[in-house]
Structure formats: C-alpha cells, structure tokens
Amino acid sequence: RRLRDWQRWTRNITLYGYLQYPHWGVPQAFYHSEGDFLRTVHRRGVRNITDEWDAHFNTSALFLSLRARLLWDLNTDVDAFVQDFCERMYGPAAEPMLEYSALMEQAVAESPQDHVSFRGLERFTPEVLANAERLLRRAYRLAPDDLTRARVADQQFAVDITRLYQLQAVEDKSTEQQVALIELNARILEEATRHDIAIPMDARYALYVGYTPPLEALAGKRLLQLPEQWQFRTDPEAVGEREQWQLPGRVDASWKPISIHQAWEGQGYPGYEGFGWYALDAKLPAGSGGRMWLLFEAVDELCTVWLDGEKVGESTGEPGVLWDKPVAVEVTGKYRPDEATHIVVRVHDSAYAGGIWKPVWVVESAR
C-alpha cells in the first residue's frame, strides 16, 4: 500500500534501510523471503536500495552474498544459489552446512515474532542452538583445510555470540550464570584470535575486551551483602582525592544518602558526569582463612576503593565494556574483622548512567 501511494508521485522509488545495532553478529538467514521481498518491491517501482546493513559478513556471508546476487538478478534461483555457495565455500563440508542454513531459515519461519528483527533473539531456542552446534561440529571435522575450517568457525562464532547476548539479557544472574558468561567470553575471544575472525562493533562491546573477569571472587562464598544505603557526594572539580575524602571522619553534611542498587542519575543527580564518592561504615566478617574480596556486581564506569583510608584496588579498562561487569578488589588482611571498617568508593562516569548500581558483597575464596 505504501509503495502504491508513492507511485502516484514517482516511478523511481528508493528504499532506505536503517541500521539497528543491538545483536550485530548473530546469524541472519531468511533467504527465500528476501527474494520474495526484493521481487515484490521491484514490481512496485523500487529501482534503488540504500542500506546501513545490520548483518556482519563473517557471520552471514551466505545471506549477504545471496542478497547481492538478487539485486543483480531478481530471477536468481534461491535454492540453487544456496547449494552452489555451500559447495564452493565448504567443499566436503557442504552437506552439514546446507543443513545448518536450512535450520537457521526454519528458525526464522517458526519464530514467535511476527517480524524477525535484528534485535530479536527469540528464534534462537535452546533446541535450535544445540542442533546448529551439532551440524557445525560435523562440518568442522569434514573441512579439508585451515581455510575451510575458518569459514565454519565463522558460523560457530555467530552461534556463540547469540548465546552471549542471551546470557547477558538475564537480569539477575546466578553465580553459575556469571561464570558461564565469562567462560563463553573467553572461548569467543580465543576462537576469534585463532581463526582471525573480525569482531563486529556491537559484539565488541558485548565481549569482555580489555577486561579481566574476577573469576576467583565470583566463584567464592558470599559471606555478607553490604547495606543498600551509603553516603554520597559529587566531585565535579575532581578535588576529592587531593582533599583526602577517602579518610575516616571526612563524611559530613555535604554527603547525602544514596542507594547502590541504581544509578545516581535517578536519585537526584540527573545528567551528572564526573566523579562520585560513596562511603559506608560496616563490620566485615573474618572468613575461615581464605582470600577475602569486595565484589561489586556492577559499577558504571571506573572505580577506586579504599578501606580505612588505604587504597585496596581499582578497575581499569574501556568504560563502554566495564559499565555492567562485575568488579572485585582483594581485601585480605586489610581490615579488622567485626570492627567498623570505613569503606570509600570513588566512581568516575563519562556518559549515560553512572555509579554503583548493583549489590556489593564480601566474598571468601580458597587460598
């Protein structure tokens, strides 16, 4: 209907597709419907298509190659093209890769969404991902050389990235899910290096690039969750460390109560970017002889931590990566158990939300 309306004004219509960044790098596979779509819009007067394309070539080479061919020749036989592509790209591994392509397209057709957008992950059910990995393992075994194995690895990368996005979407992750997410990150980065896979932009932010996960603290025993309410003050001139706000006794009326379970913007500091200081006096447990940690489930973006005025640790890395990742600092021997300890955390935020926005724990791991 839209195209018919436009045809009243012009016989030469251009379609413009706009990029949706989230979930860049997941498999894109709607081969037959793409052919149907392009033939339909051509009949309705479309002669030009310009696009900020969402798919990444490494992970959706077949889909983008078919799309290019259809733009050149709308009468392209989709089935014949897919067959020819897989035979040329994968050689002896063509059969399982054809099955993999059909599986991905079937997942689109059976998706609970009316329109499968690039943002949606619903089509990638546990069964679809398990079958995809089974076929890719078979193809990898049949691949005759390193180049073909690397091409299969591109598709495995797409499946792993899909699992990564799904795990990250879980709001209240268990310890097991946190560890699984970190292990998946490590495997993806290792395989990307091994097979020289270019990591697409959105996936780069999703991966732990430039970030070392605190595995030991995450796998440790959580002894105490610290209170939600802390004292807080902003530091727009960055004078806090020079004036030694980290020392005990420096909290006065200029510090205000704040929750550490949400960003500071929603608690009376809208639009504030820069340093923010948090302070809390708490009795910390002794543990049973293991290594002791303060585990922050998420700090947006960078933080420095002091106990009783002594610096015990800080986070480092890309703010765009760190903002939703766990951070841990070791505090073994840095406090007197069951006596009040003055905890100070300075957070720096450069964009969007900022501050400690998830719970903080005292954790013990084995020595």
- What pLDDT digit, counting tens, does each position of 121-161 carry? 888 999 999 999 999 999 999 999 999 999 999 999 999 99
Contacts of 168 by beta carbon, 8 Å cutoff, 6+ apart: 181, 206, 324
Q: Give me the pLDDT at residue 302, please.
A: 94
Residues in the chain: 367
Segment of 7-21, 111-125, 339-353 carrying the highest mean pLDDT: 339-353
Q: Is pLDDT larger for residue 210 or for residue 361?
A: 361
Q: Give me the pLDDT at residue 119, please.
A: 60
pLDDT band at 30 (very low <50, low <70, confident <90, very high): confident
Does 301 sit behind a cis peptide bond, omega within 30 degrees of 0 on the bond before it?
yes
Q: Give me the pLDDT at residue 49, please.
A: 86
> Taking a C-beta distance cutoff of 8 angstroms, is the pair 54, 25 a contact?
no
Q: Indicate if the pLDDT at residue 116 is higher than 60.
A: no
Q: Give me the pLDDT at residue 303, please.
A: 96
52-61, 106-115, 130-139: segment of lowest average pLDDT: 52-61
Q: Give me the pLDDT at residue 121, please.
A: 86
Q: Give me the pLDDT at residue 332, please.
A: 96
What is the value of pTM for the model shown? Answer: 0.64
Calculate mean pLDDT across residues 333-339: 92
Compute the mean pLDDT over every residue in the chain, rounded to the nearest whole number: 90
pLDDT band at 267 (very low <50, low <70, confident <90, very high): very high
Residue with tokens 């949400």: 262
Phi, psi of 88 (to 5 degrees): -75, -35
pLDDT band at 18 (very low <50, low <70, confident <90, very high): confident
Contacts of 203 by beta carbon, 8 Å cutoff, 6+ apart: 24, 25, 56, 161, 164
- What's the rounded Cα separation, in Å, for the pair 315 and 331? 14
Report how far apart, in Å, the C-alpha atoms of 92 and of each of 9, 84, 149, 153 are.
Answer: 52, 13, 11, 15
